[in-house]
Amino acid sequence: MARLGDEPRCGKCKEPLFTGRPIALSDHTFDRHLTRSEIPLVVDFWAEWCAPCRMMAPFFEQAAAELEPRIRFAKINTDENPALSQRYQISSIPTTAVFKGGREVARQPGAMNLPQLLQWTKSNV
């Protein structure tokens, strides 16, 4: 956490770890991000066909640009990753969840605008 301002890079490919944009996670990559970092993880569970999900997407991107690298933002397409949807019992989308220390600490179903998303995220990390 103390070195986040040093613009960390991947040890293998040397690409920046934080780009100010949400990362796409899958059933196969989610646990790696959940368990190998002290940085809070904010996840948007969404689907392409979901109009509220599409409405919230630009706000989620703006929140990532504002709050990374102190908070990692990720998106999980529920249609493409049904195991994660089942594991976390996602019953409506969009659903935004905060994970800290490898466990879920907050959840908010429904779309949020940017001020709501920022306030909710900051109050739950």
Among the listed residues 39, 42, 43, 50, the single catalytic one is 50
**Which residue among the candidates 41, 53, 112, 117 is catalytic per the annotation?**
53
Please enumerate, as own/partner, the contacts of 47-54 that have beta carbons within 8 Å and a separation of 24 or more.
Answer: 47/77, 47/78, 47/79, 47/93, 48/77, 48/79, 49/79, 50/93, 50/94, 52/93, 52/94, 52/110, 52/111, 53/93, 53/94, 53/111
Catalytic annotation on 50?
yes
What amino acid positions are annotated as catalytic residues? 50, 53
